């Protein structure tokens, strides 16, 4: 999961914005998705950067995928 100090900064930004009036926000751990991709030998890359160079991007994408899967389970 993301560094604790960064997470606190993000939570503070969310609390001081109007986003929660229109959206439900959730904090999810993207690490399980990253681990699964690494175990399957899938190389992650975006704009020439890998997981090590841009951890937050890939963790966010994996967390979004986990949320989408969770939402599909609850609506099916």
Cα–Cα nearest to 30, from 71, 61, 75: 61
Please tell me whether the overall predicted TM-score, pTM, comes out greater than 0.75 for this model.
yes
Q: What does the domain layout of the chain look like in residue ranges? A: 4-75
* Cα gap 64→40, rounded to integer Å: 19
Find out whether 34 and 59 touch, Cβ atoms under 8 Å.
yes
The predicted pLDDT at position 64 comes to: 96
pLDDT average per 10 residues of sequence, the chain (76 residues) = 86 92 91 97 96 94 95 83
């Amino acid at each position: 999961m993301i560094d604790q100090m960064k997470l606190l900064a993000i939570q503070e930004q969310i609390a001081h914005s109007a986003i929660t009036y229109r959206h439900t926000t959730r904090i999810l751990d993207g690490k399980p998705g990253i681990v699964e991709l690494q175990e399957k030998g899938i190389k992650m890359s975006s704009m020439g950067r890998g997981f090590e160079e841009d951890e937050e991007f890939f963790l966010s994408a994996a967390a979004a995928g986990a949320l989408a899967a969770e939402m599909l389970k609850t609506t099916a």
